Amino acid sequence: MKKIILNRIDKYKLHLIFWAAYIAYETILVWVLFGASGRPPLYIVHYVLMMILFYGQAVYLLPWALKFPKGSYWAVPLLLLIEMVSFLLLSFAGDKMLFYFHLIPPSKTYGFNPDFYLKTIYRCVQVMFFSTGYYFLMRYNSEKRISEELERLRLNNIIQQQKSEQELIKAQNAYLKAQINPHFLFNTLDFIYHNIASLSPPIGDAVIRLADMMRYAIDSDKMGEYVALEDEIEQVENLIFLNQIRKKDGLAIKLTYGEGVPEITFIPLVLLTLTENIFKHGDLSQPDECALINIYVEDGVFFIKTDNLIDKKNRPESLNTGLANINQRLVYAYSNSATFNFGPDSREHFLTSIAIPLTLMQA
């Protein structure tokens, strides 16, 4: 509680200093001019009324009267008149209350007389003057804060716009580099192919297939939502060929696909991802445990199935991210009609199986 009171005092300390200075000023002025001091109960009543008038006008009444500019021509004068009459009546009632409770002695200077009117109206006009100034000061500070906030937001928007423009320039530069670099790469691969094909046809073939695969990967974002399986099957065959070249045909892996499968359209890079996972995490060194990639249609359902021996040195847990990505893409493209199952079996083989009703496939 003490902390709350101290916070309130700190918040309104300027108001407290103002009122303390004003009361001290009036007390000293009365003492100097008339050689007398006012009675504390009378001070309390009248200064409380002055504070009510001051804050009531500044915080509530003037904002209401000035809310509608066209109405302020009659609302403000009427408001000031009502305030003055109310202050006179409340001051008179305050004096009567003090008389009634014998807190001040009866005096002819109290009540409705010229002296009472002059003193009360003077105080009322003085308080309304300061209150009006306080209202416009608050309004100025409020508009200043709003202006500063708008300026801050404007500067933030300019900064964000500049950052966006910088990011756009970086993206454009990256795009230009992405266009230049593949062009340079493919020209270089083409140069290598023409210079090596006559010396080593298998290596020349490998260079062409590598260039074809890289071009397919780079252009994958321009293919659209679906591609002909014929194109992706070709890249899978390229991938198998390149890995076989590296291992001198020592890898046990086989790709088979049924009739009509190449003409079916499918979301891109799924088949390639499954094949790459076999090379990354499968043991392809056992001829009697050949890895299989089988694509076929049966009873109106399209299937992609893979089966490979697990490489014990590279456990398949690391497959989960890539396979989860495939699952999300299948759900997005074919909703819940597509099923995707994967996992090890009792033979220490890793199996994957995609099944989609043929009616949902793009043909």
pLDDT, one tens digit per residue, over 244-277 is 888 877 899 999 999 899 999 999 889 999 999 9
Evaluate whether residue 214 is within a structural domain.
Answer: no
For residues 28 and 138, membership in a common domain is answered with yes
- State the pLDDT confidence band at 315, using cuts at 50, 70 and 90: low
The tally of domains found in the chain comes to 2
Q: What is the pLDDT of residues 10-35, one digit of tens each?
A: 777 888 888 888 778 777 776 776 56
> Residue 350's domain is classified under what CATH number?
3.30.565.10
Q: Are residues 149 and 274 in the same domain?
A: no
Among 101, 135, 158, identify where a domain stops: 158
Q: Rounded to the nearest 5°, which phi and psi values hold at 362?
A: -80, 125
Residues 140, 27 within the same domain: yes
Average pLDDT of the segment spanning 287-312: 94
Indicate if 127 and 235 belong to the same structural domain.
Answer: no
Residue 179 resides in a domain: no
Q: Tell whether pTM > 0.85.
A: no
| pLDDT of amino acid 75 | 78
Instruction: Give residue 215's pLDDT band: very low, low, confident or very high (50, 70, 90).
Output: confident
Answer whether residue 184 is part of any domain.
Answer: no
Q: Are 211 and 189 in contact (CB under 8 A)?
A: yes
User: Residue 36: its pLDDT value, please?
Assistant: 58
The domain boundary residue, chosen from 140, 158, 176: 158
- Residues 237, 92 share a domain: no
pLDDT value of position 69: 67
Same domain, 139 and 6: yes
Q: Does residue 217 lie in a domain region?
A: no
Domain final residue pick, 158, 192, 215? 158
Q: According to the model, what pLDDT value does residue 205 have?
A: 81
Claim to verify: residue 131 and residue 258 sit in the same structural domain: no
Residue 218 lies in a domain: no
Do 233 and 151 sit in the same domain of this protein?
no
Instruction: Supply the pLDDT for residue 303.
Output: 96
238 and 153 in a common domain: no
- Determine, yes or no, domain membership for 21: yes
Range of the domain at 100: 2-158
Percent of the chain residues topping a pLDDT of 70: 84
